[in-house]
Amino acid sequence: MPSTTIEICIDAVDSALAAQHGGAQRVELCSNLLEGGTTPSAGLIKTVRDKTSLGLQVMVRPRGGDFCYNDDEFEVMCHDVTAAKSLGADGIVIGLLNTDGSIDIPRTSQLVELAKPLPVTFHRAFDVATNLPGALQELIKIGIARVLTSGGEPSATLGIPALTELVQASAGRITILAGGGINSTNVADIVEKTGVKEVHAGLRTVISGRMQQSDKKISPGVGGMDESQRFVVLEENVARMSQAIAGIKHSS
């Protein structure tokens, strides 16, 4: 087991298999990654669970957009936590904020209780919280196991100073999971400078779909792709990151 855990964000079974074969230890399973990730279907959770031995963290997010949810949306989240547990998830990923950007402590606490005994990750909603050091302390009190963060910056590279401070402030009470633009070319620098023990990466590549009707004119979809294209995680990209992580261990 490497000294730094690799978590890959995925939305499909083939990407889960690529993550496993490339050397990742864990996946964050989502749907709708073009909107930042929403709750995956029951079928997707079950199939990834059946076909991989990876740690399976399931996103519970009822929609794209902001992280302030109404009563109906929160009810959906509660049902989805229960469903993910029953389908073999190893952990739950959530992120709830109030209108002022503070942590929604009561609802987050409810979901942590509902998820037990599974650990809960607070996702990058944390990065838009109004006070990151204060928010971290609140998440520790609630019982959150880890927080996915770029240190409040657009990328983990830009967030290195803040990530370093968060690792120090965590004092082993919560895991800081660094994420945001991490790949094989920058992971060593981020890990060595911040002291994080876990990293989260998308590593997505646009590929052509399986259909052969390339002469058909299809209007561009979200993100400028058309319906003959999709995002996948490639095994070789995960393997490069694994090798970069191994290099950190060998040089230390």
**Domain containing residue 9: CATH number:** 3.20.20.380
Which residue, among 30, 55, 42, has the nearest Cα to 86 in the 3D structure?
A: 42
**Assigned token pair, 151:** 């240190």
In this prediction, residue 224 carries a pLDDT of 54
Number of domains in the chain: 1
Angstrom distance (rounded) from CA 237 to CA 235: 5
Please list the ranges in the chain whose pLDDT falls under 50: 1-2, 250-252
The model's pTM: 0.91
Domain that holds residue 144: 5-251
Q: Three-class SS of residue 67?
A: coil
pLDDT digits over 206-241, tens only? Answer: 877 777 655 555 555 555 555 667 889 999 999 999
In this prediction, residue 221 carries a pLDDT of 54
In this prediction, residue 1 carries a pLDDT of 40
In this prediction, residue 248 carries a pLDDT of 81
In this prediction, residue 251 carries a pLDDT of 42
In this prediction, residue 34 carries a pLDDT of 84
In this prediction, residue 3 carries a pLDDT of 84
- Give 55's contacts (C-beta < 8 A, 6+ positions apart): 7, 25, 26, 27, 90, 91
In this prediction, residue 210 carries a pLDDT of 73
Chain-centre distance for alpha carbon 115: 17
Amino acid sitting at position 220: P
